[in-house]
A and B are shown apart, each in its own frame.
Chain A
Amino acid sequence: MLALLAFATAVAGEAMSAGLFHPKVGSLANGLRIVVIEDHRAPVVTHMVWYRVGAADEPPGKSGIAHFLEHLMFKGTTKVGSGGFSKIVARNGGRDNAFTSHDYTGYYQNVARDKLDLVMSLEADRMVNLRLDPEDVETEREVILEERRSRTDNKPSAQLSEAMHATQFMAHPYGIPVIGWQHEIEALSREDALAFYRTYYAPNNAILIVAGDVTAEQVMALAETHYGGIPRADTPARRRPQEPPQLAARRVELRDARVNQADLRRSYLAPSRSAGETRHAVPLSLFAEMLGGGTTSRLYQELVVKRKLAASAGAYYSATNLDRRTFSLYVTPSPGVTVTAAEQAMDEVLAAVLRDGFEAAELARSRTGMLAAAIYARDSLFTSPRIFGDALTSGLTVEQVEGWPDEVRAVTMEQVMAAGRAVLDPRRSVTGLLLPEG
C-alpha cells in the first residue's frame, strides 16, 4: 500500500514536465525502483532488471566477476534447471539476453504482453534463488575465455583500446576491462561469483523497467506479487578509487604483424553528468558533435575532405557514467600518410577550434540533431528502457533523462567552449597508436 502511494505521487509529479518518454515511476517497500514506459503500438513488452553494480565495483584481483556472474545467472535456481531460463522464455515465444558494463548489469526478456507475469516470476526467482553446479561454473569459464579471445585477443585494435583504458585510468577501475584480465578470469571461483551475487543482487540495488503494451498499474501489481517478498540486502555504497590529477600526457603504441592499417586515437579524462565538473557534461556533448560528430564536423572536413590526410576522423563522448570517463578522438590515416603527420594535423584542428571557437550555425545544427535523436529514440520499443537503465545506474534521475532536451536547448556557445577548453588539456590525454610491425 505504501508503495502504491509513492507511485501515485510520482505519477502526479511526472505529468508536469514537458518530458521525452513520459515514464511512470514508483517503488516497492523493499526498495525496488520501478519505471514504466507505456507504448501501445505493438502487443509486446520488454521487461528488464538492472542492478547498480558493474565491473568497476569488483574486488581487486577479481576482474571479470560481474560479467562471469551475469553468465552464471542462467545456470539455474531452486526452481529452474541449468540453462532452463532461456529455454522457458523461448518456449513462450520470447527472446532474452543480458549485458554487463563498468557501471551496471542488466537482464531482459522481450515477450508478448501476456507473458509478462511469467518472465517477472522467473527474474524475481533468480534474484534470490541462484544455485550453481560447480561443473557449470568450470564450463562457463571456458566460454568466457573464448568470448575474451573473440572480442579482444583476436583483434589488435581491441588490444590497443584495452591498453589505452588501462593507461588513462591508473587508479579508477574503468582501467580494467569489463570482461576481465585473462589470468584473473582463469582464477575466478564459484565462491567469488556467489559472494558478489549475495552482496549486490537485491531489490534495493535494482531497477525494474518495463516498456510496451501494459499499464503502470498492471506493472505495479505484478511487481508487488513477484518482487515484493524479496528482502533488502545491506548493499555497500559505490565508492570507487578515483583518479589522481593527471599532470603528464601519456602515450601507448601497439605494434603487431597483423596490422595492415595504422590508426591514431586519443582520449582525455572527462566529467560525466554525475561526476567531476558536471556542468560541462551536456555542453561537451555538443562540443563533440561539432568537433567530430559527422561529415560536416571540423575534424572530418579538415583532415578528410580538405587536407586528404585521413580516410576517417571523428570524436565521441558519452555524458552518462557514474564516474569521470573519457572524451575520445580517432583518425585513420590515408594510404601513405604517417600517424605522426595525422597526429600533427589533428592537433592543429584542436588548437584552432579551442582558439577561435565554432560558428553559431554549427551549434544550431548539432542541437537540431540531438533533439531529433531524442524523438527518434522513442521509435524503438527497446531504446527508451536502455536509456533509463543506463541513466539510473549511472547516478542520474528520471527527471534528468526527461530534461535532456531542455538542457540541450539551453546550452550556450560560451558553455560549449568552456567545456572544451576545460577537457581538451594535453596533459590529461592518452594518445594511442596502432602500427604494423617493423
Chain B
Amino acid sequence: MSLSRLLIGLPLLGLLWLYPAIAGATEIQRVRSPGGITAWLVREPTIPLISVSFSFAGGATLDDPRRKGTANMVSGLLDEGAGGLDSLAFQTRLEELAVRLSFDADRDSFTGGLRTLTENRDAAFDLLRLALTKPRFDGVAVERIRRQIITGLKEDQENPNAVVGRTWFAMAFKDHPYALPTRGSQDSVAAITADDLRSFVASALARDRLTIGVVGDIGAAELAPLLDATFGGLPESTERTMIGETAPVTDAGLKVVEMEIPQSRVMFGAAGLKRDDPDWYAAYVLNYVLGGGGFASRLYDEVREKRGLAYSVYSYLYPLDHAGIHLGGVGTQNGRVAEALTVIRQQFAKARDEGINADELANAKTFLNGSFPLRLTSSGRIARLLVAIQRENLGIDYFDRRPELINAVTLADVKRVAKRLLRPEKMLVVVVGKPVGLEAGE
C-alpha cells in the first residue's frame, strides 16, 4: 500500500470534462463505416494494442424509477453470457484472448470500453458485438450480479462518502431522475426482472445515441468494417424519451446525517454551468483558482495549508447533460467542521465580490494549457477523451482551438461568472458525521 500526498477522489468524475483536450500533435481521423457508423480514431502503432471507448447517451436517467438501477445492472451483465456462450464460457474466452471488456452506467450515459492486443483484434471486437447485441441474462447470472449489487449497496450505508453524495443529490433534485443514485436502492434492485434488463438493452442502446473513440494500432480502413460488424446489429434509434432540463434546488441550506465517525464528510454545492454555456471557460478558470487546482487553489491554501483543517478540500464543475452543478467537498474532524465551512464560505464570498487577480488568471491559463498534453498518456485515456469531445459537440479541431478559448478569458469575464456561480448563502451543504456546533436537520 502506498499513501499519496493528495488523494483526489470525487472530483475525478468531473475532471474528464474539465480537461477535454489533447495535444495539437495528435491527429484525429473521422472514420465513417459503409453502414453509416462514425468513430473518431487516433492511430498509434508504437504498441501492439487497441483501445475502444463508446457511450450511449441517456444512461441511468432512462431507468424506470421503480426499477432504478436497471442500467447499472445491465452494465454488470453484458459480459456474463452472450450468444452461444454462457457466463463461464464468455469470461473464459476473454481471458484466453487477454481482452478487457468493461461496461458502466452513469447519470447521463451507458459507457463501455474494449482493450485488446492487436493480434486478437477481430475476436475481441466480436466479443463486444455479442455482449451488446446478444446478451443472455441467464437467471443464475442475473441473481448473482443482483447479489453483488445489493451487497455493495449495504456497504455504501457505512461509507460516509457514498452517503454524503446520495443525500446531496436526493435533496437537490427531488423528483427528477438525477435525484436517484445510478445503482438504485436495495428495494428497487430487488424488483428488477430479466425482462426489464432486456427491454433496457432493446430500447436504450441504439446507434442514434452512440459515440465511439478508438486509439491504437489500427488504421481507418481496418476499423470501418469492424464498426459495422460490431455495432451494426444495434437498433437504429432509441425508443426511450430523454429527460428534460432541470437545475439543483439548493435552498435547503444545511443537512446533517448522523454517523459515528471521527471525521465529518461534507459536500457543498449549488447550480453550475452546463458545458455549452458561453461562460464555461471563465467558470473553468475561476474554479481552478478557487478549488480546482490541486496544490494551488485558494481553498487548499486556506483550509489545508494555513489551518491544517483537512487532508482534502476541493471544488469542481459537474456539467450533466441536463443540469449544471458546482460541487465541492471537505473532510474535517467533527470539532472543526463549523470552522472549515466558515473558511470555505468566506472564500466563496471573496471570489464572488472581488473575482481573481491578474497573477491568478495568468497562472491558471498557463496550467490549464500546459498540463493538457499530460492527458494524452495512455490510449484508453485518449479514447475516452475522443468520446467526451464528440458528446459535447466541441468539434474535431477542438484541441487546436482550446488554448485560444482559455486564453480569451479576461478578469472581467471571471468576475461576471463569479457573481453568477458563487452563492455561498444558497449552497446546499450536507454533512455526514457527528459535527459539533452545526444545527442538525435543516
Interface residues of chain A, those whose CB is within 8 Å of chain B, are: 41-44, 67, 70-71, 74, 83, 86-87, 90-102, 110-112, 115, 138-147, 149-151, 153-156, 178-179, 257-261, 294-296, 301, 304-305, 308, 311-312, 332, 334-335, 364-365, 368-369, 371-373, 375-376, 378-383
Contacts and interface: CB of A to CB of B under 8 A. Distances in A.
Interface in B283-312: 293-296, 301, 304-312
Interface of B: 1-7, 23, 25-26, 44, 46-49, 51, 87-88, 91-92, 95-98, 100, 115, 117, 140, 143-144, 147-148, 150-152, 154-155, 157-160, 259-263, 265, 293-296, 301, 304-312, 331-333, 363, 366-367, 369-374, 376-381
A260 B154 contact: yes
B312 to A, nearest CB: 7
A305 B158 CA distance: 26
A295 B333 contact: no
B4 A97 contact: yes
A172 B159 CA distance: 31
13 contacts: A42-B23, A42-B25, A44-B377, A70-B5, A101-B3, A111-B374, A145-B333, A146-B310, A150-B263, A311-B152, A312-B151, A368-B98, A379-B380
Nearest to A138: B308
Contacts of B377: 42, 44, 110, 380-382
A290 to B, nearest CB: 11
B91 A179 contact: no
Given A153-B261, A365-B96, A90 B296 contact: yes
A101 B4 CA distance: 9
A94 B4 CA distance: 17
Given A42-B25, A368-B96, A380-B377, A154 B47 contact: no
B91 to A, nearest CB: 5
A151 B152 CA distance: 19
A150 B331 contact: yes
A98 B294 CA distance: 13
B2 A87 contact: no
A90 B293 contact: yes
Given A258-B260, A304-B144, A378-B47, A86 B296 contact: yes
A380 B51 CA distance: 12
Q: Which 9 pairs across A and B sit closest by C-beta, in order of nearness?
A: A93-B370, A142-B308, A372-B98, A86-B295, A149-B263, A311-B151, A380-B378, A147-B311, A381-B377
Contact of B23 (A43, A141, A150, A371): A43
Contacts of A258: 158, 259-261
Contact of B88 (A41, A260, A305, A375): A305
Given A42-B376, A83-B301, A139-B305, A154 B262 contact: yes
Nearest to B297: A90
A100 B95 contact: no
B343 to A, nearest CB: 14
B296 A93 contact: no
Given A41-B44, A83-B295, 15 more contacts: A42-B26, A74-B5, A86-B294, A91-B296, A93-B369, A93-B371, A99-B3, A138-B308, A153-B263, A154-B262, A258-B158, A258-B259, A335-B147, A373-B98, A383-B378
A93 B366 CA distance: 6
Contacts, number: 210
A320 B366 CA distance: 39
B101 to A, nearest CB: 12
A259 B104 CA distance: 27
A436 to B, nearest CB: 9
Nearest to B95: A365
Given A97-B5, A139-B305, A149-B262, A44 B374 contact: yes
B295 A146 contact: no
Contacts of B3: 67, 99-101, 147, 151, 178-179
A230 to B, nearest CB: 23
B378 A94 contact: no
B432 to A, nearest CB: 10
A91 B361 CA distance: 11
Contacts of B308: 138-143, 146
A146 B379 CA distance: 36
A335 B293 contact: no
A261 B154 contact: yes
A112 B263 contact: no
Contacts of B92: 296, 365
Nearest to B293: A90
A66 to B, nearest CB: 10
Given A98-B4, A150-B311, A90 B363 contact: yes
Given A112-B373, A258-B260, A101 B158 contact: no
A334 B295 contact: no
B164 to A, nearest CB: 11
Contacts of B150: 311, 335
Q: Which of B23, B87, B259, B377 has the most CB of A within 10 A?
A: B377
A260 B296 CA distance: 38
Nearest to B115: A376
Contact of B373 (A42, A87, A260): A42
Contacts of A115: 370
Contacts of B48: 375
Contact of A146 (B44, B261, B263): B263
Contacts of B310: 143, 146
Contacts of B152: 311
A366 B304 CA distance: 45
Contacts of B260: 257-258
Contacts of A147: 3, 311
Given A44-B377, A261-B155, A98 B5 contact: yes
A97 B262 contact: no
Q: Which of A101, A138, A142, A365 has the most CB of B within 10 A?
A: A142
B158 A260 contact: yes
Given A70-B5, A260-B154, A94 B371 contact: yes
Contacts of B148: 311-312
Given A42-B376, A99-B5, A150-B263, A260 B155 contact: yes
A294 to B, nearest CB: 7
B267 to A, nearest CB: 14
A259 B366 CA distance: 46
B295 A260 contact: no
A31 B412 CA distance: 53
A381 B117 contact: no
A95 B25 CA distance: 20
A342 B355 CA distance: 58
A301 B144 CA distance: 11
A147 B330 CA distance: 11
Contacts of A261: 151, 154-155, 158
A178 B154 contact: no
A100 B2 contact: yes
Contacts of A311: 147-148, 150-152
Contacts of B49: 375-376, 379
B158 A259 contact: yes
